Amino acid sequence: MKPVATEWFQHERLAPDLIRITEKHFDPIARANLWLLTGRDRHLLIDTGLGVSDLARYLAPLLDKPLTVVCTHMHFDHAGGLADFHDTCLHCQEIDLMKQGDATAALALPEQGFNVDGYFDELPYAGFSAASYRYRPCVVQRALNDGDTIDLGDRALEVLHLPGHSPGSIALYDPAQDTLYSGDVVYDGELIDNAHGCVPDHYAASMVRLARLAPRLVHPGHYHSFGTERLHSLVTDYLAGRRASACPASA
């Protein structure tokens, strides 16, 4: 029997205006990075994790301004907790799926191989299992489109629609800090383009678009952050068939 975690989340302050939050008892292979940014007028939370513990309560001591929440896409490890927040944003192509609580589109079903008991080294609460996990529906307040902005008062982040991993996958670019929050479009690990809802051709087109960008820093949805050179290397590898789990070269 696995123990119940006394603390589910952990965080580290990377800069005065940036905190990275993770769910420390979910396997490092699968756990998402949740990014909390602080602007002059408001906070921005990028992604909400699994939704198995109260992220809103955890964040409360860290907040002194209104909070806007953006999910980079609706997969359960990024948007599972979206229902706990109010000022919420998601790309328009995934709004209806989120409203329906579509667990298949969210990759939340244990048989899909991403939400499995083996990924939990401690439990979020007594009696939890991957089979008992429920992806909660959410009425999202704002539908995002490519080119929209999220205004924090002293700076605004631009929405980049980069589909392929999911229909509504986005990244957020902060021109003031020359930083890209890339979600699951790109990270330094095995990229997923063969799960439900993935379209490799769309993913490749998104990578071509990324190749034209040169942000100083990339904060991804998984694993560690990296710079321009590594971004371009990851994009090149994907387009050459060396990064995606669907590619024979990585099988």
**18-40 tens-digit pLDDT:** 999 999 999 999 999 999 999 99
Work out whether strand 88-91 and strand 67-70 pair parallel, antiparallel, or are unpaired: parallel
What's the whole-number mean pLDDT along residues 188-210?
96
Can you tell me the mean pLDDT for 197-212? 97
In this predicted structure, the answer to whether residue 82 has a pLDDT above a threshold of 60 is yes
Which range, of 26-35, 128-137, 237-246, averages the lowest pLDDT?
Answer: 237-246
Task: Name the band, by pLDDT with cuts 50, 70 and 90, for residue 188.
Answer: very high
Residue 138 in tokens: 């959410």
Domains of the chain by start residue, with CATH: 9-250 (3.60.15.10)
Structure confidence at residue 243 as a pLDDT band (50, 70, 90) = confident
Radius of gyration of the chain (CA): 17
Q: Which residues face 161 on adjacent strands?
A: 170
Answer whether 34's CB lies under 8 Å from 19's CB.
Answer: no
Dist. CA 78–CA 48, nearest whole Å: 5
pLDDT score, position 116: 97
Provide long-range contacts, Cβ within 8 A and 24+ apart, for 204-208: 204/164, 204/238, 204/239, 205/164, 206/162, 206/163, 206/164, 206/169, 207/164, 207/235, 207/238, 207/239, 208/239
* Separation of alpha carbons 236 and 238, rounded Å: 5
DSSP 5: P
216 closest CA partner among 160, 174, 187, 186? 174
Contact 224, 188 (CB under 8 A): yes
- C-alpha–C-alpha distance, residues 98 and 101, integer Å: 5
Residue 248 has pLDDT above 50, yes or no: no
Backbone φ and ψ for 55, nearest 5 degrees, come out as -65, -35
CA-to-CA distance for 190 and 130, rounded, in angstroms? 23
Amino acid at 167: P
**Angstrom distances, CA of residue 211 to CA of 129, 232, 236:** 40, 6, 8
- pLDDT of 184 above 60: yes
| pTM reported for the whole predicted model | 0.96
170 in Cβ contact with 94 (< 8 Å): no
